[in-house]
Amino acid sequence: MPQPIPRVEPVLAGRDNILWMIATAPDRYAVVDPGEADPVSRFLARSGATLSHLLITHHHGDHIGGVELLRQRHGGQVVGSKADAHRLPPLDQAVEDGSRIPLAEGMIAEVMSVPGHTLGHVAYRVGEALFSGDTLFGFGCGRLFEGTPAQMWHSLCRLRALPDDTRLFAGHEYTLANLDFVIDLDPDQSETRRLRESFIALADAGRLTLPHPLLLEKRHNPFLRADDPALAARLGLSGQSPTQVFAAIRERRNRY
């Protein structure tokens, strides 16, 4: 029987980082990508809790900057990509594609290798929750700092294959900016415009746009639709491979 979605709470850091806190016990949490220590420590103090795990998706500083201090203050097992171990804080568990990390009784974090943004990037799937780091954002994807378009497209196809009701917990709150790009890229999509208005209402109410169902990404995220002939035609890319279409969209986003 599949795991349900765990209880997850956001901690905000920097300009737009979201450090996701996964409840692994009434008084214990796992944190995903703790780029800063102090916001997490304040959350734990308010909750009377400590850390069970620190789950790292990739080596960039805004995702690992708080790891060492949090481990000193609160304990917890540090988990990260075996391929990136030389660029990460010391790991208690080095993981690779298919690894399964017990977070609590009946709660497993399944590891997916998703290179593209970086070569060693991993995502964590905990029940119906997907912690995608900087691979998949709300209606966007990460820049290709190390990987190739083919690698990133393959990684996104793996994430796209997850069930529609999977909830997306990305590493940054980029949804509205990404939707602006989507509408500029493909301006005739009235459903996307309505979706943007609903997310603007959330933001105006002081709420995050994440998590939301992966189904919305499959319908509206152009980076997940690079194999859609209709989209390719609208972009003047008919006859090009999905990898080529993806690369062209990514390049347009880089310049947007």
Instruction: Determine the distance from the C-alpha atom of residue 117 to the mean position of all C-alpha atoms in its chain, rounded to a whole number.
Output: 11
Confidence at 2, pLDDT banded by 50, 70, 90? low
d(CA 78, CA 32): 10
What mean pLDDT comes out for the span 169-190? 93
Q: What is the pLDDT of residues 73-121, one digit of tens each?
A: 999 999 999 999 999 999 999 999 999 999 999 999 999 999 999 999 9
Domains of the chain: 8-255 (3.60.15.10)
Residue 92 DSSP one-character state? S
Q: What is the DSSP letter of 188?
A: T
DSSP-assigned states of every residue in 134-171:
TTEETTEE---SSS-HHHHHHHHHHHHTS-TTPEEEES
d(CA 166, CA 31) in angstroms, rounded, equals: 19
Alpha-carbon gap, residue 81 to 95, rounded angstroms = 5
Q: How is residue 33 written in tokens?
A: 């990508």
Question: Is the dihedral angle over the CA atoms 174, 70, 117, 251 positive or is it negative?
Answer: positive
Of 178, 256, 171, 255, nearest to 216 (Cα)?
Answer: 178
43-64 per-position pLDDT tens digit: 999 999 999 999 999 999 999 9
Task: Answer whether 135's CB lies under 8 Å from 162's CB.
Answer: no
> Cβ-count burial of 30 within 10 angstroms (0-12 exposed, 13-18 middle, 19+ buried)?
buried
Q: What is the mean pLDDT of the chain?
A: 95
DSSP state of 172: B
- The pLDDT score that the predictor gives to residue 188 is 79
**Angle subtended at Cα 127 by Cα 122 and Cα 131, rounded to the nearest 5 degrees:** 30
pLDDT in tens, 189-206: 889 999 999 999 999 999
Tell whether omega for the bond before 211 is within 30 degrees of 0, i.e. cis: yes
